[in-house]
Structure formats: structure tokens, C-alpha cells
Structure 1
């Protein structure tokens, strides 16, 4: 079944489907999206496509591109700062040092 999902994602992305990434993190303290990131890469998505699925694609889909999705003057200043480069290893997207929402630090790793 997992292989089927990966193939469906590969096909959807290949025909220009817009990929959005979302998780259930927030009420599940032991949840890590690392496996999902690996599966996105396994489906053939590039780092840029995976990053877009986390940032610009959801902002665009939900009509929020003027407020969020990219870093620019006047936007909400929602940022996640990482301790390692996810372009080198996609699992590094889970190496969160800081989470900033509306310009305020809401999470800092120990």
C-alpha cells in the first residue's frame, strides 16, 4: 500500500499537481514527519518541491501568499530555523532549532 501511495504521489507531481504538506503534530508529542519527508523524496520530489509543499504551496492554496509562505518585508515572520541543511539530507527538516510565529519565538530546542 505504501508503494502505491508513493507511485500515486510521483504521478500526481509529474502532471503538475500541487503538493501540500500537513501533519497531525500538535496533539501527538512523539510524532516525527521524518518518514513522510523521506517518502516525498522517494516519490521523486526534489528538495525545492518538498520545501514548496511546506511553505509556498499551502500559502497559495489557501489564499495567504500576501501574508505568509515566503520571507519578505511585511509578511507574518513565520519561520523555522534548522540546525542542519535539509538540501543535504531531507530528514534535516526535523532538526528544528527555533520556531518563530509572527516574529515571536514559540519554540527553542534545548
Structure 2
């Protein structure tokens, strides 16, 4: 995804605000609005930090940072599925492959 040069925000006063994306130094949630810091200026806008992230093309950190235990458990599930009875060998492999693909997608690794 190409990052935008400009993003359009809505000022706390309801007026549109067009901002050069690269000039945004930081932003943070306040009580009822978000403060966007550009140089020495502060702009209060109605968008949430999550909405601003989306407008800027920022993606969430990989799940590995948020929940490493989950990925460890999924890895164990994949190993056990390959060795488990009660399913055909093909079903075991396909299910384990799906778990592996989920891990790869969540961490940004692999072909998933």
C-alpha cells in the first residue's frame, strides 16, 4: 500500500483540515478529540488515533508483539495435529497447514 502524501481530517470546529502526512510529528487521544502535532502547532481533530493510523496507512504490529503465548500455542497445535489420530492424514496436514499459514500471516513471515 502506498502511503498518502496528504490526509484529510476534520477539525474539532467541524472544518476540514488537509495535512501533509509526512509533517505529522505525533498524535494522541484527548478526552473528546485527538491532538495532532505538526511542528510547533497543535490541531484538535475529531478522528481517533486509530482512524488517523488507517489514513496514514499504518498497520498494526505483528501478533508476535502482542501475544507471543498465542503463537506458541498455535505452533504446538500444528505439531500435535500432524501426529493426532481420528482424522485422515490429509485432514491433519491440511489443518496443520492452515494453522501454520495463520501464524505466518500474523507475524508477517512466510508465504501466507
Q: Higher helix proportion, which one?
A: 2
Shorter-chain TM-score category? under 0.3
User: Which is bigger in relative contact order (C-alpha 8 A, separation at least 6)?
Assistant: 1
- TM-score, structure 1 normalization: 0.22
- TM-score, structure 2 normalization: 0.22
Q: Higher strand proportion, which one?
A: 2
Q: Which has the larger radius of gyration?
A: 2
